[in-house]
Amino acid sequence: MVREHLRPVTPEYLDAAPVRLVAAARLAAPPEALFRALTEDCSTWPLWFPEVTRAGYTGPPPYGPGAGRAVRLRGGAHFVESVLLWERPHRFVYRVEQVNFPGAHAWLEEWRLDPAGPGTDARYTLAFDVSRPLEWAARALRPVVVRSLRRALHGLDAFAARGEG
Protein backbone atom coordinates (compact mmCIF):
# COMPACT_ATOMS: atom_id res chain seq x y z
CA MET A 1 0.00 0.00 0.00
CA VAL A 2 1.48 3.35 -1.06
CA ARG A 3 0.95 5.92 1.69
CA GLU A 4 3.66 8.57 1.98
CA HIS A 5 3.17 11.59 -0.31
CA LEU A 6 6.42 13.29 -1.30
CA ARG A 7 7.12 16.96 -1.94
CA PRO A 8 6.78 17.78 -5.65
CA VAL A 9 10.09 18.81 -7.18
CA THR A 10 11.17 19.95 -10.65
CA PRO A 11 14.13 18.78 -12.77
CA GLU A 12 16.25 21.54 -11.22
CA TYR A 13 16.14 19.48 -8.02
CA LEU A 14 18.84 17.25 -9.53
CA ASP A 15 21.37 19.95 -8.59
CA ALA A 16 19.85 20.80 -5.19
CA ALA A 17 19.07 17.39 -3.67
CA PRO A 18 20.84 16.60 -0.39
CA VAL A 19 21.69 13.09 -1.65
CA ARG A 20 22.66 12.17 -5.22
CA LEU A 21 23.65 8.71 -6.40
CA VAL A 22 25.04 8.59 -9.94
CA ALA A 23 26.00 5.66 -12.13
CA ALA A 24 27.56 6.15 -15.55
CA ALA A 25 28.68 3.78 -18.27
CA ARG A 26 29.61 3.72 -21.96
CA LEU A 27 27.00 1.56 -23.69
CA ALA A 28 27.11 -0.04 -27.13
CA ALA A 29 23.55 0.73 -28.22
CA PRO A 30 22.70 4.14 -29.70
CA PRO A 31 20.64 6.62 -27.64
CA GLU A 32 17.43 6.07 -29.63
CA ALA A 33 17.40 2.29 -29.01
CA LEU A 34 18.13 2.79 -25.31
CA PHE A 35 15.47 5.49 -24.95
CA ARG A 36 12.89 3.29 -26.66
CA ALA A 37 13.73 0.33 -24.39
CA LEU A 38 13.63 2.60 -21.34
CA THR A 39 10.36 4.39 -22.02
CA GLU A 40 7.98 2.69 -24.42
CA ASP A 41 6.97 -0.29 -22.28
CA CYS A 42 8.12 0.04 -18.70
CA SER A 43 6.58 -3.35 -17.87
CA THR A 44 9.79 -4.78 -19.40
CA TRP A 45 12.01 -3.20 -16.71
CA PRO A 46 12.20 -6.42 -14.64
CA LEU A 47 13.81 -8.10 -17.68
CA TRP A 48 16.87 -5.83 -17.48
CA PHE A 49 16.79 -4.12 -14.05
CA PRO A 50 17.19 -6.89 -11.45
CA GLU A 51 15.89 -4.85 -8.49
CA VAL A 52 12.59 -4.05 -10.25
CA THR A 53 9.97 -6.77 -9.82
CA ARG A 54 7.06 -4.95 -11.47
CA ALA A 55 6.60 -1.71 -13.40
CA GLY A 56 3.89 -0.21 -15.53
CA TYR A 57 2.32 2.96 -16.76
CA THR A 58 -0.88 3.79 -14.88
CA GLY A 59 -2.77 5.14 -17.89
CA PRO A 60 -3.14 4.50 -21.61
CA PRO A 61 -0.65 5.56 -24.29
CA PRO A 62 0.65 7.78 -25.67
CA TYR A 63 3.19 8.23 -22.88
CA GLY A 64 5.18 11.36 -22.21
CA PRO A 65 5.30 14.19 -19.66
CA GLY A 66 2.53 13.75 -17.11
CA ALA A 67 2.31 9.97 -17.52
CA GLY A 68 2.05 8.04 -14.27
CA ARG A 69 4.05 4.94 -13.43
CA ALA A 70 3.89 2.36 -10.64
CA VAL A 71 7.08 0.49 -9.73
CA ARG A 72 7.75 -2.26 -7.20
CA LEU A 73 11.26 -3.24 -6.10
CA ARG A 74 12.70 -6.39 -4.62
CA GLY A 75 12.17 -6.15 -0.87
CA GLY A 76 8.71 -4.63 -1.24
CA ALA A 77 9.35 -0.92 -1.84
CA HIS A 78 6.61 0.54 -4.02
CA PHE A 79 6.66 3.90 -5.85
CA VAL A 80 4.09 5.94 -7.74
CA GLU A 81 5.84 8.29 -10.17
CA SER A 82 5.10 11.06 -12.68
CA VAL A 83 7.10 11.62 -15.85
CA LEU A 84 8.41 15.20 -15.96
CA LEU A 85 10.66 15.20 -19.05
CA TRP A 86 10.56 12.94 -22.10
CA GLU A 87 13.21 14.40 -24.39
CA ARG A 88 13.67 11.71 -27.01
CA PRO A 89 16.29 10.25 -27.28
CA HIS A 90 18.48 11.90 -24.66
CA ARG A 91 16.69 12.55 -21.38
CA PHE A 92 14.00 10.87 -19.28
CA VAL A 93 13.13 12.39 -15.87
CA TYR A 94 10.46 11.34 -13.40
CA ARG A 95 9.54 12.27 -9.87
CA VAL A 96 8.41 9.92 -7.14
CA GLU A 97 5.02 11.07 -5.87
CA GLN A 98 4.30 8.38 -3.28
CA VAL A 99 6.15 5.58 -1.49
CA ASN A 100 5.11 2.84 0.90
CA PHE A 101 7.77 3.57 3.54
CA PRO A 102 8.25 6.51 5.89
CA GLY A 103 11.09 9.02 5.80
CA ALA A 104 11.19 10.00 2.12
CA HIS A 105 10.51 13.71 1.49
CA ALA A 106 11.41 14.30 -2.20
CA TRP A 107 12.78 12.03 -4.94
CA LEU A 108 13.72 12.52 -8.59
CA GLU A 109 15.38 10.21 -11.13
CA GLU A 110 17.07 11.10 -14.41
CA TRP A 111 18.36 9.00 -17.31
CA ARG A 112 20.77 10.84 -19.68
CA LEU A 113 21.76 9.24 -22.97
CA ASP A 114 24.43 11.16 -24.89
CA PRO A 115 25.86 9.98 -28.23
CA ALA A 116 29.39 8.60 -28.03
CA GLY A 117 30.54 7.35 -31.41
CA PRO A 118 28.24 4.48 -32.40
CA GLY A 119 27.19 4.02 -28.74
CA THR A 120 26.06 6.08 -25.78
CA ASP A 121 27.44 7.69 -22.66
CA ALA A 122 24.66 6.87 -20.20
CA ARG A 123 24.12 8.34 -16.75
CA TYR A 124 21.44 7.41 -14.23
CA THR A 125 20.95 9.78 -11.28
CA LEU A 126 18.87 9.32 -8.13
CA ALA A 127 18.36 12.62 -6.29
CA PHE A 128 16.47 12.62 -3.02
CA ASP A 129 15.78 14.11 0.39
CA VAL A 130 15.07 11.59 3.14
CA SER A 131 15.12 11.39 6.92
CA ARG A 132 18.52 11.26 8.64
CA PRO A 133 18.45 7.46 9.18
CA LEU A 134 17.60 6.84 5.51
CA GLU A 135 20.19 9.39 4.38
CA TRP A 136 22.82 7.67 6.51
CA ALA A 137 21.84 4.29 5.03
CA ALA A 138 21.94 5.66 1.47
CA ARG A 139 25.40 7.12 2.01
CA ALA A 140 26.67 3.93 3.67
CA LEU A 141 25.23 1.79 0.88
CA ARG A 142 26.29 4.14 -1.94
CA PRO A 143 28.82 1.68 -3.47
CA VAL A 144 26.25 -1.13 -3.48
CA VAL A 145 23.50 1.08 -4.94
CA VAL A 146 25.77 2.58 -7.61
CA ARG A 147 26.93 -0.92 -8.59
CA SER A 148 23.27 -1.96 -8.89
CA LEU A 149 22.46 1.09 -11.02
CA ARG A 150 25.46 0.39 -13.26
CA ARG A 151 24.21 -3.21 -13.67
CA ALA A 152 20.85 -1.77 -14.69
CA LEU A 153 22.54 0.43 -17.32
CA HIS A 154 24.30 -2.60 -18.80
CA GLY A 155 21.10 -4.64 -18.58
CA LEU A 156 19.29 -1.90 -20.52
CA ASP A 157 22.08 -1.99 -23.12
CA ALA A 158 21.76 -5.77 -23.59
CA PHE A 159 17.96 -5.52 -23.72
CA ALA A 160 18.10 -2.77 -26.37
CA ALA A 161 20.68 -4.75 -28.39
CA ARG A 162 18.29 -7.71 -28.54
CA GLY A 163 15.73 -5.36 -30.05
CA GLU A 164 13.23 -6.06 -27.30
CA GLY A 165 12.65 -2.40 -26.47
Identify the CA nearest to 92 among candidates 80, 116, 108, 72: 108
d(CA 137, CA 152): 21
- Percentage of the residues of the chain whose pLDDT score is greater than 90: 88
pLDDT at position 165 over 80: no
Give Cβ neighbours of residue 102 (< 8 Å, ≥ 6 apart): 4, 131
Please write the tens of the pLDDT for every residue from 30-86: 999 999 999 999 999 999 999 999 999 999 999 999 999 999 999 999 999 999 999
Average pLDDT of every residue of the chain: 94
Which CATH architecture best describes the domain 4-161? 2-Layer Sandwich (3.30)
The mean pLDDT value for 126-132 works out to: 93
* pLDDT bucket at 6, cuts 50 / 70 / 90: very high
Please write the tens of the pLDDT for every residue from 78-107: 999 999 999 999 999 999 999 999 999 999
Instruction: Determine contact, residues 162/28, Cβ cutoff 8 Å.
Output: no
